[in-house]
C-alpha cells in the first residue's frame, strides 16, 4: 500500500462517524427494560381480566326464564373452597335453597357462618359471609321467588342486609327500633315487598333483662309497622296466602294481626304444640297448622286462627326420630313439605321430652337436616332432599315448594373459580415483581441473546 493510498484511507475513515458501542448498548438495554416492564404490566392486566372471565366460562350465565324450571335438588353439598360470592359475576339468579351449618367449609374466621345458595334450576353454588350461627329459615331467609336473601349483616352495628341474586346489589334495612342490641330478619311477605324484622332491646337500664320486638319493614321507602313488644321469644311468623294477615308465636301464645298491626285474635297453644312454620296457613287461608309432639314423633294438626280451637289432625304421616319439624309450605299435589332436624350424635338433650324450640334447633343439638314430603294418606314421609352432616338449617323458596318439582343434583366439588383467579393472579404478580427487580440482568441477557442471534445469522450469510 502506497503512502498516498494510506493517507486517503485515513482521511476517509476520519470522516466516518464512530459507532457509539457503549451508548448504544445502554440504550438497547433501556429499551428492553421498558418493554419488559410494559409487558409485565400488560400481562397482569390480562390475567386480572382473564381471571374474571375465563375461570367462569364454565359457569352458565343466568337464564332469566329459568324460574319456570325451578326445582328442589335431591341433595346439597358443602360449597367448594374458592366458591363465588353472591355478588360475583355471573349472577346466580333466583335460588331454590339456602343452607347453613358448622361443617368444614360452612364457617369462616371466628365462627362466622357461610350462607350457601343453590341455583333455582342447576347446581350453581354461591356463598355469603354471615354472622355467627346463622340459621337458614330462622334469621336468614329466602324470599318467596328466591331472588332476595335477608340475613344478619356482619359488623359492629346490628343491621339486616338484603342481597339481590339477580343484580348482585345489596342494601341494609332497619326496623327503626331505638337501642337495639341485636336484629335479624324472620320472614317475607308473599309478594316479597315486605320483610319481618325482630329486634332485641334492653328491658331495663341495667340491661339485666331483654325483650323482643317484631316489625314489618316495607322495602319501597322502608315504611315500618310495629307488631309486637314481648318479653318472650318470637318464632316463625307466617303470612296468610293473600298476604293480608300474619300469625306469629311468642312463648305459648299465637297472635294473628293485619299488616297495619291491628290485632285480630290471640290464643294459647295446647301443650306440646308449636306454630308449624312459615307455611302454617292452609292454602285457602281458613286454618293454621301446628306441629304436635307425641314422644319422639311429630305430626301436623289444624287449628282455628280466630279461637285456636283444634280442628283435628291432618292425614299426613308422622315424622319420628327428629328433634323437631318445620313446615315450609304446601306443594301442588297437596303434600306438606317440612324440614326434619336430625339429632346430633353427641347431643346432650332428650328430644322426646319437653324442650324449648330454640333449644331443639340449636347448632349443638342438630346433626343434619332433610326435606320431607308428607303426602295425604301416605304411611311414611318421602325424602326429597338430604344434606351432609353438620348442615343444620335450610330454607326453600316458596315458588319451588308450590311447584312441587324436584331434580337430580350433582353438587360441585374440588375448588371454585375464586381459587383459580387468585392463584393465577398471585403467580403472575410474583413473576412480574421478580422480573422487575432483576430487570437489568434480564435486559443484559436479552441483549446478549440478540447479539448471539445476529452473529449466527451473519455467519450463515457469509
Q: Concatenated DSSP letters for 245-297?
A: EEEEEETTEEEEEETTS-EEEEEEPPTTEEE--TT-B-TTSS-EEEEEEETTE
Confidence at residue 120, expressed as pLDDT on a 0 to 100 scale: 97
Confidence at residue 61, expressed as pLDDT on a 0 to 100 scale: 43
Distance CA 69, CA 92 (A): 15
CA atoms within 13 A on the CB side of 218: 8
Distance CA 191, CA 302 (A): 25
User: Which residue is listed with cell 422480573?
Assistant: 435
pTM of the model: 0.80
Confidence at residue 370, expressed as pLDDT on a 0 to 100 scale: 98
Helix axes 439-461, 417-437, angle to 10 degrees: 80
From the list 213, 211, 209, 181, the residue with the least C-alpha distance to 197 is 213
Q: Sign of the C-alpha dihedral, residues 104, 106, 110, 111?
A: negative
Confidence at residue 435, expressed as pLDDT on a 0 to 100 scale: 58
- In the chain (462 residues long), the average pLDDT of successive 10-residue segments reads 60 54 53 54 48 42 56 97 94 97 92 96 96 96 98 90 97 92 95 95 90 93 86 81 95 94 96 96 97 95 97 97 97 97 87 90 95 97 98 98 97 74 57 64 73 70 56
314, 301 contact by CB (below 8 A) = yes
Query: What 3-state DSSP class applies to 403?
Result: helix
The CA-atom distances, in angstroms, between 83 and each of 72, 97, 133, 231, 412 are: 21, 16, 20, 41, 9
From the list 121, 118, 124, 141, the residue with the least C-alpha distance to 64 is 121
Distance CA 424, CA 43 (A): 11
Query: What 3-state DSSP class applies to 223?
Result: coil
Amino acid at each position: 500500500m502506497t503512502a498516498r493510498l494510506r493517507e486517503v484511507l485515513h482521511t476517509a475513515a476520519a470522516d466516518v462517524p464512530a459507532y457509539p458501542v457503549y451508548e448504544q448498548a445502554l440504550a438497547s438495554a433501556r429499551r428492553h427494560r421498558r418493554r419488559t416492564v410494559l409487558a409485565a404490566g400488560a400481562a397482569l392486566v390480562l390475567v386480572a381480566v382473564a381471571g374474571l372471565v375465563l375461570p367462569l366460562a364454565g359457569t352458565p350465565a343466568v337464564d332469566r326464564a329459568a324460574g319456570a324450571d325451578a326445582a328442589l335438588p335431591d341433595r346439597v353439598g358443602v360449597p367448594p373452597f374458592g366458591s363465588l360470592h353472591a355478588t360475583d359475576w355471573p349472577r346466580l339468579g333466583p335460588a331454590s335453597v339456602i343452607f347453613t351449618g358448622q361443617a368444614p367449609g360452612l364457617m369462616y374466621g371466628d365462627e362466622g357462618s357461610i350462607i350457601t345458595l343453590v341455583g333455582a334450576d342447576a347446581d350453581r353454588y354461591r356463598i355469603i359471609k354471615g354472622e355467627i350461627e346463622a340459621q337458614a329459615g330462622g334469621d336468614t331467609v329466602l324470599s318467596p321467588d328466591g331472588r332476595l336473601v335477608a340475613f344478619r349483616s356482619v359488623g359492629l352495628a346490628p343491621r339486616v342486609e338484603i342481597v339481590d341474586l339477580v343484580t348482585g346489589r345489596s342494601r341494609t334495612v332497619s326496623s327503626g327500633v331505638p337501642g337495639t342490641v341485636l336484629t335479624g330478619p324472620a320472614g317475607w311477605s308473599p309478594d316479597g315487598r315486605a320483610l319481618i324484622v325482630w329486634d332485641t332491646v334492653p328491658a331495663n337500664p341495667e340491661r339485666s333483662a331483654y325483650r323482643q320486638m317484631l316489625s314489618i319493614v316495607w322495602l319501597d321507602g322502608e315504611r315500618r309497622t310495629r307488631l309486637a313488644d314481648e318479653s318472650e321469644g318470637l318464632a316463625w311468623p307466617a303470612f296468610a296466602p293473600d298476604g293480608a294477615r300474619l300469625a306469629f308465636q311468642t312463648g305459648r301464645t299465637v297472635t294473628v294481626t293485619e299488616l297495619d298491626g291491628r290485632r285480630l285474635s290471640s290464643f294459647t297453644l295446647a301443650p306440646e304444640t308449636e306454630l308449624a312454620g312459615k307455611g302454617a296457613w292452609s292454602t285457602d287461608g281458613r286454618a293454621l297448622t301446628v306441629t304436635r309432639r307425641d314422644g319422639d314423633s311429630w305430626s301436623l294438626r289444624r287449628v282455628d286462627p280466630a279461637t285456636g280451637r283444634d280442628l283435628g289432625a291432618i292425614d299426613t304421616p308422622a315424622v319420628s326420630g327428629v328433634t323437631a319439624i318445620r313446615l315450609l309450605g304446601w306443594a301442588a299435589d297437596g303434600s306438606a313439605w317440612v324440614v326434619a332436624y336430625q339429632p346430633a350424635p353427641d347431643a346432650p338433650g332428650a328430644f322426646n321430652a319437653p324442650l324449648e324450640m330454640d333449644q331443639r334447633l340449636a347448632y349443638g343439638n342438630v346433626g343434619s337436616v332433610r326435606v320431607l314430603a308428607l303426602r295425604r294418606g301416605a304411611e311414611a314421609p318421602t325424602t326429597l332432599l338430604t344434606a351432609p352432616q353438620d348442615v343444620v338449617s335450610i330454607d326453600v323458596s316458596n315458588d319451588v315448594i308450590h311447584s312441587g318439582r324436584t331434580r337430580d343434583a350433582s353438587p360441585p366439588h374440588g375448588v371454585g373459580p375464586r381459587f383459580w383467579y387468585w392463584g393465577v393472579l398471585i403467580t403472575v404478580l410474583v413473576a412480574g415483581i421478580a422480573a422487575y427487580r432483576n430487570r437489568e440482568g434480564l435486559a443484559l441477557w436479552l441483549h446478549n441473546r440478540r447479539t448471539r442471534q445476529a452473529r449466527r445469522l451473519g455467519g450463515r450469510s457469509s
